[in-house]
Amino acid sequence: MPLQPWKTLRTHLLLDRSPRLRVLADDVQLPDGQVVEGYLRVETSDYAVIIPTNDAGEVLFMRCYKRGVDAIDLQLPAGGIDPEESPLESAQRELREETGCQAVAWQNLGAYVVGGNLGINRVHIFLATGCRQTNEPTSGDLEEQELAWVSLQEARRWYRAGKVYRQVSTIAALGLAFAAMADGGQ
């Protein structure tokens, strides 16, 4: 018998901090007929992550404090997708705001659900090539940040060592970007 999806019977809103966060409890029926009450689901805004690269073979990182990991972290530019934007438009805006850069070309590396059971949101990942700084960053974010161009070789070493990046979105984006660059001969 082929696998079957669960059926949602009822949804109860537990917490609403829209547009940033909603927590829901679903009553679901499993394919075997069993009913599970209060299966938690979390909804947050979708976001885009950008891997900016330049013609010198470098990737642009940001160092800043991130509350979720409670540490200064090395990450890629990223940010929420506004309701009126496509994921690509959001990625282009975030790159411009957070780094002051623009890219010559954009490659969509896919959209992925962050939490398989809880849902949470989707991360849209883009490789931006031919990046160059055209203005000063104007992110307006709460965190202070430093920008650093790092050679692709060094970024790969850090990636393989598993010691630098604390956020799964950065790790996943880098892995996808490294694979795309290898497939494209970069």
Q: Which pLDDT tens digit goes with each residue over 44-79?
A: 999 999 999 999 999 999 988 877 778 788 899 999
pLDDT digits 0-9 by tens, 73-116: 889 999 999 999 999 999 999 999 999 999 999 999 999 998 88
Q: What is the DSSP string of 113-155?
A: EEETTTEEEEEEEEEEES-EE-S------SS-EEEEEEEHHHH
One-letter amino acid identity for 120?
I
Tens digit of each residue's pLDDT (9 = 90 or more) over 148-184: 999 999 999 999 988 777 888 999 999 999 999 988 6
Q: Which long-range contacts (CB under 8 A, 24 or more apart) does 171-178 make?
A: 172/112, 172/123, 172/125, 173/49, 173/50, 173/51, 173/76, 173/109, 173/123, 173/125, 174/51, 174/59, 174/76, 176/109, 176/110, 176/125, 176/127, 177/51, 177/53, 177/59, 177/109, 177/125, 177/127
Residue 138 scores a pLDDT above 90: no
Strand extents, DSSP E, 19-86: 21-29, 35-44, 47-52, 58-66, 71-75, 78-80
93 sits in which H/E element: helix 87-99
pTM for this structure? 0.88
pLDDT the model gives residue 110: 97
Q: Are 53 and 94 in contact (CB under 8 A)?
A: no
